[in-house]
Amino acid sequence: MGKIVGAIVVNEERCKGCSLCVVACPKDVIALTDRKVNVNGYPFAIAARPDECIGCTACGIVCPDGCITVYRKKLE
Amino acid sequence: MNNDIISPENLVYAKPELMNDTPMHYCAGCSHGVVHKLVAEVIAEMGMEEKAIGVSPVGCAVFAYRYIDIDWQEAPHGRAPALATGIKRLWPDRLVFTYQGDGDLACIGTAETIHSLNRGEHIAIIFINNAIYGMTGGQMAPTTLLGQKTATCPFGRVPELHGYPLNITELAARLEGTCYVSRQSVETVAAIHKAKKAIRKAFEASMKGLGSSLVEIVSTCNSGWKLTPVKANEWMQEHMFEKYPKGDLKDTTSL
């Protein structure tokens, strides 16, 4: 069976740093930026441990602002 | 490695196409955003992009028309169901729904809500219940829980002074005109899937002319409750579901 790998792309300017995606992620992939903010002054979500991502889409589904795009691929 | 995963054929989730890029004015972590996404997804799945008409309320969702690219009409405070009644009667082939908060639907618009549901107008009402007046600064709403602190009941709501929380969804389930009455929430992935199914059923029931539908979404208002978005979700799970239990209260649609 092939391994399933995922990746997320965060719309950093749209993100408000509510951290609901951080809690929703089962693999602890996402974190908020520590000392960086976007144009609106919010810390934003980033894939801190991108290699762990399985593309389950939980972060995208719970994001109230639709900031997260999720990709998933099966490696043979 | 990430670069070859990120390509269109591997896309599994993105912001709904009907939702545009206008930045939403909602506070960080507000449940409104999730429900907006669900509405946009359901309308697209039903293929009703050109035939959907939303009626936006007065309240936090007053600017809903800015974010979802369908036809919208802005209603006077509380009058969204009355306006939706008119639209649906003139254009029976349109998908007409209202999107209202608890201040709009359960306080100033109680008469319009109850009567349009009781008449069995073929409209769907999406009711966001966060137990507080979010837009005006966190005052007590009819749906505020007993003991809950707000700007206008800083020592907690007491029934002797403020009356009891109004459970309007339960009232709606007793009315003969309603065909589908459900209460959902959007705090977890599983709950969001259920809420989406409920919204879809309500929209389909209205298009089939089965009667009026009400979908209550128990929501958070982290700014009004003075909690972080994550803590607000926990508070909702601990306190709100006791008074507002989730599930279908009435379903005569057989859809």
So where are chain B's domains? Answer: 26-251
- The chain A residue lying nearest B187, using CA atoms, is A62
Q: Do residue A18 and residue B29 have CB atoms under 8 angstroms apart?
A: yes
Average pLDDT of A15-36? 94
B219 → chain A, closest CA residue: A64
* Angle at alpha carbon of residue B199, lines to B195 and B202, rounded to 5°: 140
The amino acid sitting at B27 is: C
Question: What pLDDT, on the 0 to 100 scale, is given for residue B4?
Answer: 81
Predicted pLDDT of residue A3: 87
Q: How many CB pairs under 8 A join A and B?
A: 93
Q: Report chain A residues whose CB lies below 8 A from the CB of B12.
A: 6, 55, 57, 70-72
| Model pLDDT, residue A53 | 94
* B2 pLDDT higher than 70: no
For residue B251, give the nearest of B218, B217, B219, B204 by alpha carbon: B204
> What pLDDT was estimated at residue B18?
94
In this predicted model, what pLDDT tens digit does every residue of B191-241 receive, in sequence order? 999 999 999 999 999 999 999 999 999 999 999 999 999 999 999 999 999
- For residues B235 and B220, give the distance between their C-alpha atoms in angstroms, rounded to a whole number: 9
| Nearest beta carbon to residue A65 from set B14, B24, B188 | B24
Whether the predicted pLDDT of B1 surpasses 90: no
How far apart (Å, rounded) are the C-alpha atoms in residues B200 and B97? Answer: 12
How many structural domains are present in chain A?
A: 1
Q: Which of A10, A64, A56, A15 is nearest to B233 (CA)?
A: A64
CB B116 within 8 A of CB B123: yes
Distance between CA atoms of B227 and B222, rounded to whole angstroms? 5
CATH of the domain at A12: 3.30.70.20
**In this complex, do B29 and A68 lie within 8 Å of one another by their Cβ atoms?**
no
Chain A residues at the B interface, defined by Cβ less than 8 Å, are 5-7, 9, 14, 16-20, 23-24, 40, 42, 50-51, 55, 57-58, 60-73
Using the beta-carbon criterion (under 8 Å), do B15 and A17 form an inter-chain contact?
Answer: no
Fill in the amino acid letter for B15.
K
Beta strands in B120-199 (DSSP E): 124-129, 178-185
Distance in angstroms (rounded) separating the CA atoms of residues B250 and B49: 28
- Domain region containing A9: 3-75
Cβ proximity of B27 and B223 under 8 Å: yes
CATH topology of domain B26-251: Rossmann fold (3.40.50)
**Nearest 5°: CA angle at B19, between B15 and B23?**
90
ipTM, two decimals, is 0.94
CB-CB: which of A7, A58, A71 is closest to B189? A58
Give B-chain residues touching A55 at CB under 8 angstroms.
5, 10, 12
Q: What is the pLDDT of residues B155-205, one digit of tens each?
A: 999 999 999 999 999 999 999 999 999 999 999 999 999 999 999 999 999
